[in-house]
Amino acid sequence: MIHFFMTFIGLIICEKLDVFCVKSIDIKEMVFIAMTFCGFVVLTNLSLAHNTVGTYQVAKMLTTPCVIVMQMIFYRKHFGILVKLTLIPITLGVIVNFYYDIQFNVIGTIYATLGVFVTSLYQVMINRKQKEFQMDPMQLLFYQAPLSAVMLLIVVPILEPVGQTFTHKWSLLDMIMVILSGVVAFFVNLTSYWIIGKTSPLTYNMVGHSKFCLLLLGGSLLFHEILAINQVIGITLTLVGIILYAHVKMKDNQTIIPEFEDGETKPLYKV
């Protein structure tokens, strides 16, 4: 909630500095996407609270195939067989990495399933809305951020012990860290919207899987954390899948379509 308020403040500053211009749209058009964001935040947190970390991560990984299915069903988008096949090593990689910590319970599974569905819907909606309204990430976030923050302001007191926030003795360092986290959130939200809008929800998920691998590798290299054999195998499988996906997408983007002009063949690159 605080992060989205900070994001909105950052966007106001950017707008005043002429970094972008606000595009006028009916605010009602943004209500649903703001609701899906709130659902994404609430349900993923509930999933983490009622599941083990391993179960949470595996469920989170299921967002990737869910995004594909959702785009195929609702938007008639076609994904090549090679793109779908790249999901196999990624899925196996995440499962292998967390297999020892996978445990299921009814309430946790419900939250995880709903979280996967709503998260996938949110990512697809970000992509569609940017294209539908011809808006860049900043223009879309300018409307969605405050709406989501207000909605979370209503929901959070029901689910979280907010009383501790007011009784806690806030030091200057605490305040600085909160502000810094808000600044980081501004750039994270903006980057997420940019990746989803300029590429696709599927590519965004691939970036997320890359982050997962980098976190594990970074912990090993920087803090000398020992990786178990299943983690090494999991990271390797995931990275192989990501590299294959990148290779397939690059080949797709470089597909040459012949176009005849004045009797000559001219290469046209499909984006």
Contact (Cβ atoms closer than 8 angstroms) between residue 123 and residue 204: yes
CA distance 9 to 22: 14
Q: Which residues of 64-101 are buried (b: 16+ CB within 10 A; e: fewer)?
A: bbbbbebbeeeeeeeeeeebeebbebbbbbbbbbbeee
In a domain, 226, yes or no: yes
Domain that holds residue 147: 2-159+179-253
- Structure tokens that stand for 160 in this block: 């979280």
In a domain, 82, yes or no: yes
Domain count, the chain: 1
Q: Is the pLDDT reported for residue 117 higher than 90?
A: yes
Phi, psi of 270 (to 5 degrees): -85, 125
pLDDT of the residue at 180: 92
CA distance 51 to 47: 6
In a domain, 78, yes or no: yes
Tell me the pLDDT band of 254, cut-offs 50, 70 and 90: low
Query: Which residue bears the tokens 């819907």?
Result: 121
pLDDT tens-place string over residues 89-113: 888 888 887 777 677 788 988 998 9
pLDDT tens-place string over residues 184-243: 989 988 898 888 888 888 888 888 888 878 877 887 788 777 878 888 888 888 888 888
In a domain, 258, yes or no: no
Alpha-carbon separation of residue 159 from 58, 119, 147, 153 (angstroms): 24, 19, 19, 11
Phi, psi of 19 (to 5 degrees): -70, -35
- Structure tokens that stand for 153 in this block: 């302001």
- Residue 19: DSSP 8-state: S
In a domain, 77, yes or no: yes
Contact (Cβ atoms closer than 8 angstroms) between residue 80 and residue 136: no
In a domain, 270, yes or no: no
In a domain, 52, yes or no: yes
In a domain, 261, yes or no: no
> Structure pTM?
0.79
CA distance 174 to 176: 5
CA distance 245 to 195: 16
